[in-house]
Structure 1
Protein backbone atom coordinates (compact mmCIF):
# COMPACT_ATOMS: atom_id res chain seq x y z
CA UNK A 1 0.00 0.00 0.00
CA UNK A 2 2.83 2.39 0.92
CA UNK A 3 4.66 1.73 -2.36
CA UNK A 4 1.55 2.39 -4.45
CA UNK A 5 0.95 5.69 -2.63
CA UNK A 6 4.58 6.66 -3.20
CA UNK A 7 4.28 5.87 -6.92
CA UNK A 8 1.00 7.79 -7.17
CA UNK A 9 2.53 10.89 -5.55
CA UNK A 10 5.69 10.68 -7.67
CA UNK A 11 3.71 10.40 -10.91
CA UNK A 12 1.49 13.31 -9.86
CA UNK A 13 4.51 15.50 -9.14
CA UNK A 14 6.14 14.63 -12.46
CA UNK A 15 2.96 15.42 -14.37
CA UNK A 16 2.50 18.74 -12.61
CA UNK A 17 6.13 19.72 -13.29
CA UNK A 18 6.89 20.45 -9.62
CA UNK A 19 9.58 17.75 -9.55
CA UNK A 20 11.61 19.73 -12.12
CA UNK A 21 12.29 22.61 -9.73
CA UNK A 22 15.98 23.16 -9.12
CA UNK A 23 16.87 23.51 -5.48
CA UNK A 24 19.66 25.91 -4.77
CA UNK A 25 22.51 24.41 -2.83
CA UNK A 26 23.56 25.82 0.52
CA UNK A 27 27.27 25.19 -0.01
CA UNK A 28 29.36 27.27 -2.38
CA UNK A 29 31.46 25.76 -5.18
CA UNK A 30 34.61 26.76 -3.30
CA UNK A 31 33.52 24.85 -0.18
CA UNK A 32 32.64 21.78 -2.26
CA UNK A 33 36.08 21.89 -3.87
CA UNK A 34 37.72 22.04 -0.44
CA UNK A 35 35.70 19.00 0.67
CA UNK A 36 36.77 17.09 -2.45
CA UNK A 37 40.39 18.08 -1.79
CA UNK A 38 40.12 16.77 1.79
CA UNK A 39 38.62 13.47 0.58
CA UNK A 40 41.46 13.03 -1.89
CA UNK A 41 44.18 13.73 0.70
CA UNK A 42 46.49 10.92 1.71
CA UNK A 43 47.83 11.30 5.24
CA UNK A 44 51.26 9.76 5.52
CA UNK A 45 53.28 12.18 7.65
CA UNK A 46 52.83 14.59 10.54
CA UNK A 47 52.87 17.49 8.09
CA UNK A 48 49.96 15.91 6.23
CA UNK A 49 48.08 15.50 9.51
CA UNK A 50 48.55 19.19 10.31
CA UNK A 51 47.47 20.18 6.81
CA UNK A 52 44.39 17.95 7.10
CA UNK A 53 43.47 19.52 10.46
CA UNK A 54 43.83 23.05 9.04
CA UNK A 55 41.80 22.13 5.97
CA UNK A 56 39.07 20.65 8.17
CA UNK A 57 38.91 23.86 10.23
CA UNK A 58 38.66 25.93 7.05
CA UNK A 59 35.89 23.70 5.68
CA UNK A 60 33.88 23.99 8.90
CA UNK A 61 34.16 27.79 8.81
CA UNK A 62 33.20 27.91 5.13
CA UNK A 63 30.21 25.62 5.66
CA UNK A 64 28.99 27.73 8.55
CA UNK A 65 29.35 30.92 6.46
CA UNK A 66 27.65 29.38 3.42
CA UNK A 67 24.69 28.03 5.38
CA UNK A 68 24.20 31.31 7.23
CA UNK A 69 24.36 33.25 3.96
CA UNK A 70 21.82 30.92 2.32
CA UNK A 71 19.46 31.05 5.31
CA UNK A 72 19.71 34.83 5.44
CA UNK A 73 18.80 35.07 1.76
CA UNK A 74 15.72 32.88 2.23
CA UNK A 75 14.58 34.83 5.30
CA UNK A 76 15.15 38.15 3.46
CA UNK A 77 13.06 36.92 0.52
CA UNK A 78 10.28 35.96 2.93
CA UNK A 79 10.38 39.38 4.59
CA UNK A 80 10.44 41.31 1.28
CA UNK A 81 7.69 39.23 -0.35
CA UNK A 82 5.58 39.26 2.81
CA UNK A 83 5.28 35.49 3.05
CA UNK A 84 5.21 33.53 6.28
CA UNK A 85 8.38 33.34 8.34
CA UNK A 86 7.24 29.96 9.66
CA UNK A 87 7.09 28.61 6.10
CA UNK A 88 10.60 29.93 5.45
CA UNK A 89 11.89 28.27 8.62
CA UNK A 90 10.22 24.99 7.65
CA UNK A 91 11.75 25.17 4.19
CA UNK A 92 15.17 25.76 5.65
CA UNK A 93 14.77 22.99 8.19
CA UNK A 94 15.81 25.31 10.99
CA UNK A 95 15.83 23.36 14.24
CA UNK A 96 16.29 20.01 12.50
CA UNK A 97 19.45 18.15 11.58
CA UNK A 98 19.63 17.47 7.87
CA UNK A 99 21.86 15.30 5.75
CA UNK A 100 23.45 17.31 2.96
CA UNK A 101 25.33 14.53 1.14
CA UNK A 102 25.33 10.74 0.91
CA UNK A 103 27.34 8.15 -0.94
CA UNK A 104 25.26 6.04 -3.34
CA UNK A 105 25.79 2.27 -3.56
CA UNK A 106 27.84 2.81 -6.75
CA UNK A 107 30.26 5.05 -4.80
CA UNK A 108 29.12 8.39 -6.23
CA UNK A 109 28.40 11.19 -3.74
CA UNK A 110 25.15 13.08 -4.23
CA UNK A 111 24.01 16.38 -2.73
CA UNK A 112 20.54 16.36 -4.29
CA UNK A 113 17.85 16.09 -1.60
CA UNK A 114 15.58 13.87 -3.73
CA UNK A 115 18.43 11.47 -4.51
CA UNK A 116 19.44 11.37 -0.82
CA UNK A 117 15.87 10.42 0.11
CA UNK A 118 15.82 7.72 -2.61
CA UNK A 119 19.14 6.21 -1.40
CA UNK A 120 17.90 6.12 2.21
CA UNK A 121 14.53 4.62 1.19
CA UNK A 122 16.28 1.91 -0.85
CA UNK A 123 18.67 1.13 1.99
CA UNK A 124 15.93 0.64 4.57
CA UNK A 125 13.68 -1.22 2.13
CA UNK A 126 16.52 -3.68 1.43
CA UNK A 127 17.36 -3.92 5.13
CA UNK A 128 13.84 -4.76 6.26
CA UNK A 129 13.02 -7.01 3.30
CA UNK A 130 16.18 -9.04 3.77
CA UNK A 131 15.74 -12.64 4.89
CA UNK A 132 19.35 -12.91 6.02
CA UNK A 133 20.01 -12.92 9.74
CA UNK A 134 23.48 -12.15 11.05
CA UNK A 135 25.13 -15.06 12.78
CA UNK A 136 26.42 -13.98 16.17
CA UNK A 137 28.76 -16.18 18.12
CA UNK A 138 27.64 -16.71 21.72
CA UNK A 139 30.86 -15.46 23.33
CA UNK A 140 32.01 -13.08 20.57
CA UNK A 141 32.15 -10.13 22.98
CA UNK A 142 34.54 -11.91 25.38
CA UNK A 143 38.32 -11.66 25.04
CA UNK A 144 40.03 -14.71 23.54
CA UNK A 145 42.02 -15.42 26.72
CA UNK A 146 38.88 -15.57 28.89
CA UNK A 147 38.24 -19.14 30.13
CA UNK A 148 34.83 -20.64 29.49
CA UNK A 149 32.81 -21.53 32.57
CA UNK A 150 30.70 -24.61 32.57
CA UNK A 151 28.41 -24.13 35.56
CA UNK A 152 25.23 -26.09 36.13
CA UNK A 153 22.13 -23.99 35.64
CA UNK A 154 20.68 -25.03 39.00
CA UNK A 155 23.79 -23.86 40.85
CA UNK A 156 23.61 -20.43 39.19
CA UNK A 157 19.92 -20.03 40.06
CA UNK A 158 20.47 -21.12 43.67
CA UNK A 159 23.30 -18.59 44.19
CA UNK A 160 21.43 -15.60 42.72
CA UNK A 161 19.26 -14.82 45.79
CA UNK A 162 22.37 -14.51 47.99
CA UNK A 163 23.88 -11.86 45.68
CA UNK A 164 23.63 -8.25 46.77
CA UNK A 165 20.79 -6.39 45.12
CA UNK A 166 21.50 -3.20 43.22
CA UNK A 167 20.04 0.22 43.99
Structure 2
Protein backbone atom coordinates (compact mmCIF):
# COMPACT_ATOMS: atom_id res chain seq x y z
CA UNK A 1 0.00 0.00 0.00
CA UNK A 2 1.40 3.39 -0.94
CA UNK A 3 2.57 5.64 1.76
CA UNK A 4 0.26 8.51 2.40
CA UNK A 5 1.57 12.02 2.14
CA UNK A 6 0.88 14.30 5.08
CA UNK A 7 -2.10 16.55 4.45
CA UNK A 8 -2.36 20.19 5.43
CA UNK A 9 -5.15 22.62 4.76
CA UNK A 10 -3.02 24.05 1.92
CA UNK A 11 -2.35 20.67 0.24
CA UNK A 12 -0.03 17.69 0.40
CA UNK A 13 3.55 17.90 1.70
CA UNK A 14 6.39 15.73 0.43
CA UNK A 15 9.83 16.82 1.55
CA UNK A 16 10.31 20.48 0.63
CA UNK A 17 7.47 20.40 -1.90
CA UNK A 18 3.89 21.34 -1.08
CA UNK A 19 1.16 20.61 -3.62
CA UNK A 20 -2.12 22.47 -3.19
CA UNK A 21 -5.41 20.61 -3.48
CA UNK A 22 -6.32 22.46 -6.66
CA UNK A 23 -2.92 21.59 -8.10
CA UNK A 24 -3.43 17.94 -7.07
CA UNK A 25 -6.70 17.93 -8.95
CA UNK A 26 -4.95 19.24 -12.04
CA UNK A 27 -1.73 17.17 -11.72
CA UNK A 28 -3.22 13.87 -10.76
CA UNK A 29 -6.48 14.03 -12.66
CA UNK A 30 -8.66 14.07 -9.58
CA UNK A 31 -12.16 15.22 -10.52
CA UNK A 32 -13.32 18.42 -8.88
CA UNK A 33 -16.94 17.33 -8.57
CA UNK A 34 -16.73 16.21 -4.96
CA UNK A 35 -17.33 12.56 -5.87
CA UNK A 36 -14.06 11.42 -4.27
CA UNK A 37 -13.45 11.83 -0.59
CA UNK A 38 -10.43 13.68 0.78
CA UNK A 39 -8.94 10.39 2.01
CA UNK A 40 -9.20 8.83 -1.44
CA UNK A 41 -7.76 12.01 -3.01
CA UNK A 42 -5.04 11.93 -0.41
CA UNK A 43 -4.22 8.31 -1.22
CA UNK A 44 -4.34 8.75 -5.02
CA UNK A 45 -2.42 12.00 -4.89
CA UNK A 46 0.18 10.46 -2.60
CA UNK A 47 0.62 7.51 -4.90
CA UNK A 48 0.92 9.73 -7.97
CA UNK A 49 3.19 12.12 -6.14
CA UNK A 50 5.47 9.22 -5.22
CA UNK A 51 5.52 8.21 -8.90
CA UNK A 52 6.29 11.81 -9.80
CA UNK A 53 9.00 11.92 -7.14
CA UNK A 54 10.50 8.69 -8.52
CA UNK A 55 10.39 10.14 -12.03
CA UNK A 56 12.05 13.36 -10.83
CA UNK A 57 14.72 11.26 -9.06
CA UNK A 58 15.31 9.24 -12.25
CA UNK A 59 15.44 12.48 -14.24
CA UNK A 60 18.04 13.79 -11.77
CA UNK A 61 20.11 10.63 -12.30
CA UNK A 62 19.82 11.06 -16.08
CA UNK A 63 20.87 14.72 -15.76
CA UNK A 64 23.84 13.68 -13.59
CA UNK A 65 24.81 11.15 -16.26
CA UNK A 66 24.44 13.79 -18.98
CA UNK A 67 26.52 16.22 -16.92
CA UNK A 68 29.24 13.57 -16.52
CA UNK A 69 29.12 12.91 -20.28
CA UNK A 70 29.39 16.66 -20.99
CA UNK A 71 32.38 16.97 -18.64
CA UNK A 72 34.04 13.98 -20.36
CA UNK A 73 33.24 15.46 -23.77
CA UNK A 74 34.80 18.79 -22.71
CA UNK A 75 37.94 16.96 -21.58
CA UNK A 76 38.06 15.03 -24.85
CA UNK A 77 37.61 18.24 -26.86
CA UNK A 78 40.41 19.89 -24.84
CA UNK A 79 42.69 16.89 -25.43
CA UNK A 80 41.80 16.90 -29.13
CA UNK A 81 42.52 20.63 -29.26
CA UNK A 82 45.95 20.11 -27.68
CA UNK A 83 46.66 17.22 -30.08
CA UNK A 84 45.49 19.26 -33.06
CA UNK A 85 47.90 22.02 -31.98
CA UNK A 86 50.74 19.49 -32.10
CA UNK A 87 49.54 18.23 -35.46
CA UNK A 88 49.38 21.84 -36.72
CA UNK A 89 52.98 22.42 -35.58
CA UNK A 90 54.09 19.26 -37.39
CA UNK A 91 52.15 20.33 -40.48
CA UNK A 92 53.79 23.77 -40.40
CA UNK A 93 57.23 22.15 -40.04
CA UNK A 94 56.54 19.78 -42.95
CA UNK A 95 55.27 22.67 -45.07
CA UNK A 96 58.42 24.68 -44.29
CA UNK A 97 60.59 21.68 -45.15
CA UNK A 98 58.69 21.15 -48.39
CA UNK A 99 59.19 24.81 -49.33
CA UNK A 100 62.94 24.43 -48.70
CA UNK A 101 63.03 21.27 -50.83
CA UNK A 102 61.19 23.04 -53.66
CA UNK A 103 63.59 26.01 -53.41
CA UNK A 104 66.53 23.59 -53.50
CA UNK A 105 65.09 21.89 -56.57
CA UNK A 106 64.62 25.25 -58.28
CA UNK A 107 68.20 26.23 -57.39
CA UNK A 108 69.47 22.93 -58.82
CA UNK A 109 67.40 23.48 -61.97
CA UNK A 110 68.90 26.96 -62.46
CA UNK A 111 72.38 25.59 -61.79
CA UNK A 112 71.84 22.77 -64.29
CA UNK A 113 70.49 25.21 -66.91
CA UNK A 114 73.45 27.53 -66.38
CA UNK A 115 75.81 24.60 -66.48
CA UNK A 116 74.22 23.36 -69.70
CA UNK A 117 74.44 26.85 -71.20
CA UNK A 118 78.02 27.15 -70.00
CA UNK A 119 78.82 23.68 -71.33
CA UNK A 120 77.16 24.57 -74.62
CA UNK A 121 79.17 27.80 -74.85
CA UNK A 122 82.35 25.93 -73.94
CA UNK A 123 81.52 23.26 -76.51
CA UNK A 124 81.04 25.92 -79.18
CA UNK A 125 84.42 27.47 -78.29
CA UNK A 126 85.99 24.02 -78.28
CA UNK A 127 84.47 23.19 -81.68
CA UNK A 128 85.72 26.50 -83.07
CA UNK A 129 89.21 25.86 -81.74
CA UNK A 130 89.12 22.26 -82.93
CA UNK A 131 88.20 23.49 -86.39
CA UNK A 132 91.12 25.94 -86.34
CA UNK A 133 93.39 23.20 -85.06
CA UNK A 134 92.29 20.92 -87.90
CA UNK A 135 93.07 23.67 -90.40
CA UNK A 136 96.47 24.17 -88.80
CA UNK A 137 97.02 20.43 -88.78
CA UNK A 138 96.33 20.28 -92.51
CA UNK A 139 98.72 23.17 -93.07
CA UNK A 140 101.37 21.56 -90.86
CA UNK A 141 100.88 18.12 -92.41
CA UNK A 142 101.57 19.62 -95.84
CA UNK A 143 104.68 21.37 -94.50
CA UNK A 144 106.99 18.33 -94.31
CA UNK A 145 106.17 17.35 -97.89
CA UNK A 146 106.67 20.92 -99.06
CA UNK A 147 109.86 21.21 -97.05
CA UNK A 148 111.09 17.94 -98.60
CA UNK A 149 110.12 19.17 -102.02
CA UNK A 150 111.80 22.51 -101.36
CA UNK A 151 114.89 20.71 -100.02
CA UNK A 152 115.03 18.48 -103.11
CA UNK A 153 114.63 21.52 -105.27
CA UNK A 154 117.29 23.33 -103.25
CA UNK A 155 119.48 20.27 -103.39
CA UNK A 156 118.94 20.05 -107.19
CA UNK A 157 119.61 23.79 -107.58
CA UNK A 158 122.69 23.53 -105.40
CA UNK A 159 123.93 20.51 -107.41
CA UNK A 160 123.40 22.31 -110.72
CA UNK A 161 125.06 25.47 -109.49
CA UNK A 162 128.01 23.49 -108.17
CA UNK A 163 128.17 21.40 -111.29
CA UNK A 164 128.09 24.48 -113.46
CA UNK A 165 130.74 26.17 -111.35
CA UNK A 166 132.92 23.10 -111.55
CA UNK A 167 132.56 22.91 -115.26
CA UNK A 168 133.51 26.50 -115.57
CA UNK A 169 136.56 25.93 -113.48
CA UNK A 170 137.70 23.03 -115.39
**TM-score class, shorter:** under 0.3
TM-score, length of structure 2 as denominator length: 0.22
Q: Which has the higher contact order (CA 8 A, sep 6+)?
A: 2
TM-score, length of structure 1 as denominator length: 0.23
